Amino acid sequence: MPMLATITIILVVLCDQLTKLWIIGNFDMFQSREIIPGLFNLTYLTNRGAAFGFLNGDHGSWRHFFFIGVALVAMIMMIFLLRQMQKEGKHFVVSIALIFGGAVGNLIDRLRLGAVVDFLDVYWQGYHWPAFNIADSAITVGVGIFLIAHLVQFRHDNKSEVAPKNSIGKT
């Protein structure tokens, strides 16, 4: 299982960083290219805040160090969680590795550029989802897999604890 986690983390970080490097090299800031009309653009943006632009305004230099610190603490916690979850199965390992890889990808941006590069722009008519990147996607998918795996495990554990009632009509 450690190999599965390592490969997943490396793939997420490589895909994330390579796509961001391509965007930086081929787009000007705020430049947008329509990919699927009425639904999806590639748009070069940066985010100094957290997910969905939280704390993205001018809040001083403390914000930069705060997000780096939070990312490092979260990554340390995920290492411990990854070790514990190895016995639970590959779904848990992959989910945590996706989250970890996404955190690393965005942390690299913060350390290298002072902001996270976002470029995936999904919209429908007048409604825009906040721009995101491969690292954000990996984190979201990882959280989803983790929650679904926990739900399935919880239902399985509770199903095996409940004995079937076959005593109807028997005395």
Q: Where are the domains of the chain?
A: 2-154
Shortest CA distance to 119 belongs to which of 37, 38, 44?
A: 44
- How high is the pLDDT of residue 55? 55
Which is higher by pLDDT, 133 or 57? 133
Question: How does residue 57 score in pLDDT terms, banded at 50, 70 and 90?
Answer: low
**Of 37-51, 107-121, 149-163, which has the strongest mean pLDDT?**
107-121
Question: How does residue 19 score in pLDDT terms, banded at 50, 70 and 90?
Answer: very high
Catalytic residue among 16, 109, 121, 136: 136
Q: What average pLDDT is seen over the chain?
A: 86
Whole-number Å distance between alpha carbons of 50 and 33: 24
- Asked if 131 and 40 touch (Cβ cutoff 8 Å), the reply is no
Whether pLDDT at 121 is above 70 = yes
**Of 67-71, 75-79, 115-119, 157-161, which has the strongest mean pLDDT?**
115-119
Catalytic residue among 16, 109, 118, 121: 118
What Å distances lie between residue 13 and 19, 21, 145, 150, CA to CA? 10, 12, 18, 25
pLDDT in tens, 75-98: 899 888 888 887 888 999 999 999
118 noted as active-site residue: yes
Phi, psi of 130 (to 5 degrees): -55, 140
- How high is the pLDDT of residue 162? 54
16 noted as active-site residue: no
